[in-house]
Structure 1
Amino acid sequence: MSQPRFVIAAFYHFFDFPQFEAMQAPLLARLTDLGVKGSLLITREGVNSTLAGTRAAIDAFLTYLQTEVVGGPIQWKESFADFQPFGKARVRLKKETISLGEPVSMQRFGHYVTPKDWNNLIRRNDVVLIDTRNDYEVNLGTFSGAIDPAIPNFKHLPQWTRDNAETLKGKKVATFCTGGIRCEKYTSWLLDQGFEDVYHLQGGILQYLEDVPENESLWRGECFVFDERIAVDHRLQPSATAVLCLHCDHALTAEDQAHPAYVKGESCPHCRGAPLHAHNQPKRHAGRVKF
């Protein structure tokens, strides 16, 4: 069996990056020269990205990023596909690497829990497990026993937390997301709000799927990703079943597609009239980052 042609590298890294605006053009030029596609979001506080290219091209860009831009090592997650999941290369300037919609000190974070220790933590009776991702992501898969806040956007999570403060009171709060960046912000915010026992999955769902054997896994379903693969399975291979509703752009499981409300290209069980997630339509969705 031949090896997949494209390597998909997903990463974020917080560091002091005051010259980020001046680096937009050089970074885009380097991506273009190497034939790497995807979205690289750069801010004063760091970078957030998912990129795809050949093995040699991804290795070359990550070496350049670490030596010439960051000035030190970064960590990234890899998956593979036999097609290019992005339409073009983009380098986007933003105020924040990921926005929670409220001020966050970013001075301290929850306890990091490695994938090998994650199962023991979330099986505890004194732990509340929160999926910090958007509703259309959770629909494809989540951890057994996790609370789904049913939020359309990460910025809704603080208000959900306030509304459910009694559920969290006196508990250890464990959080997870695709690659870790949303939990970095959310656990920092939780600590700012006075929560004390706060934890998050180191490396996110993608690292868990890579490190934990499927027969030991507490993950159920597939993991939504922000590119044309739509989702990956436990082996980090592109989903064979997940699709997006072309009306509301909700991610759909095989069961959703068997529902009477599903009409290909027109509607699905999650539609509520006007499009809900038009920002994720496949062609526009392909360059979006939310790691």
Structure 2
Amino acid sequence: MPVLHNKISNYKLRTSMLSESEPRITISFYRYFILNNPHKFRDNLYRIFNTLQIFGRIYIASEGINAQISVPKKHFNKFRKTLYTLHPQLNGLRLNIALEDNGKSFWVLRMKVRPRIIADGINDSTFNPSDVGHYLKAELVNAMADDPKVLFVDMRNHYEYEVGHFNQAIEIPSNTFREQLSMVIKILWHNKDKKIVIYCTGGIRCEKASAWMRHNGFKNIYQVEGGIIEYVRRAREKALPLKFIGKNFVFDERLGERITPDIIAYCHQCGKPCDSHTNCQNQNCNLLFIQCHICNERYIGCCSITCQEKQSLPLLHALKNSKEMI
């Protein structure tokens, strides 16, 4: 029986990934479809992806699959062919290829079976998740972005919106997608008859959000097809002006893809223009925040003096012990 989960330390895996010379491609994809046996599907997929040296984070549920992965370039065609033949609902699935990529996005394969492929908190038996909004390609996105009567709504978290968004987009302040689904109804209720365009990173959150909004009485819901990733890819291909400015936050080692030169966020410590995210080096904190390179050096990658002091304690303790041993 092959090992169906990772048993090597993250440190060794990350070190190995960073030392790789083999080119890789970062890809994301999702599909809502009925899986009768998600555990069996998961184990089969794990064996295949492990053989192809694929890294990444994949969630599988009875409602479908949600994946962000790193594929060796030499295995890309085999990966795509295998994925498309794995299940009838996956044939021809759109693969969102990263916009700004050095292949160093993931270093381990994590594949989990969950109740939902994205946590939404919906417990309404009458809800139809397939009744989604109208899809918009980049050309129509731009046309609607120029219409002052159309509302653009960002269905991502605050830290994603902070570094990049469509110019006129409304932020739905929340810490989780679950919270956001209820808040978007409350905030936009008085505008429910207007044309509303929603968007997210790759489209998966908008699939659920647009259906939920329609379920709650919103009639004119549109969604950016393929999310920010597909919008930017197609806009660049068609030489269209980009209405999304700044960075597109991504949930992997890169933490962001540069879309336009605009820096619309600020260092959380000194207030200077900056859109580089970092995780606080104090492992007990691990806060995701924006930090410029000067503050990164000053606070040794920590979010505060308190965390800096806590992070320095083990090193000071080790130095003290080494001196006592001399």
TM over 0.5: yes
Aligned residues of 2:192 and 2:219 also touching (Cα < 8 A)? no
TM-score using structure 2 length: 0.73
The residue correspondences of 1:102-141 to structure 2 (distance < 5 A) are 102=122, 103=124, 104-141=127-164
Closer/same/farther in 2, CA of residues 70 and 95 from structure 1, 3 Å limit:
farther
Greater RCO between the two (CA within 8 Å, min separation 6)? 1
CA distance in 2, matches of 1:45, 1:248: 31
User: Does 1:74 find its partner at 2:93?
Assistant: yes
User: Does 1:96 find its partner at 2:116?
Assistant: yes
Secondary structure at the aligned position of 1:159 is classed as helix
Closer/same/farther in 2, CA of residues 253 and 110 from structure 1, 3 Å limit:
farther
> Cα distance, 1:141 vs. partner?
0.5
1:87 to 97, 103, 107: 107
Closer/same/farther in 2, CA of residues 163 and 177 from structure 1, 3 Å limit:
same
2:302 to 254, 263, 266: 266
CA distance in 1, matches of 2:61, 2:189: 36
CA distance in 1, matches of 2:86, 2:240: 42
Q: Which moved more, 1:149-158 or 1:52-61?
A: 52-61
Q: Structure 2 stretches of 5 or more lacking a match? A: 1-20, 261-273, 308-326
Larger radius of gyration: 2
CA distance in 1, matches of 2:69, 2:28: 6
In structure 1, the partner of 2:244 is: 219
Aligned residues of 2:249 and 2:256 also touching (Cα < 8 A)? yes
TM-score using structure 1 length: 0.81
Secondary structure at the aligned position of 1:195 is classed as coil
In structure 1, the partner of 2:29 is: 11
Aligned residues of 1:36 and 1:58 also touching (Cα < 8 A)? no
The residue correspondences of 1:223-238 to structure 2 (distance < 5 A) are 223-234=248-259
Of Structure 1 and Structure 2, the greater helix share is in 2
Identity across the alignment (%): 23
CA distance in 1, matches of 2:219, 2:198: 13
In structure 1, the partner of 2:66 is: 48
In structure 2, the partner of 1:165 is: 188
Secondary structure at the aligned position of 1:31 is classed as helix
CA distance in 1, matches of 2:22, 2:190: 45
> Cα distance, 1:211 vs. partner?
1.4
1:32 maps to amino acid: N
CA distance in 2, matches of 1:164, 1:31: 42
In structure 2, the partner of 1:199 is: 222
Q: CA RMSD in A?
A: 2.6
2:94 maps to amino acid: Q
Aligned residues of 1:34 and 1:61 also touching (Cα < 8 A)? yes
CA distance in 2, matches of 1:93, 1:19: 10
CA distance in 2, matches of 1:147, 1:259: 30
2:164 maps to amino acid: G
> Cα distance, 1:215 vs. partner?
6.9
Deviations 1:181-208 (A, max 9, x none): 1000000000100110000000100011
CA distance in 2, matches of 1:253, 1:139: 13
Aligned residues of 1:12 and 1:49 also touching (Cα < 8 A)? yes
In the alignment of these two chains, the number of paired residues is: 260
Deviations 1:222-272 (A, max 9, x none): 00001001001128xxxx962324145334265xx6679x8342216xx9x
Aligned residues of 1:52 and 1:58 also touching (Cα < 8 A)? no
In structure 2, the partner of 1:275 is: none
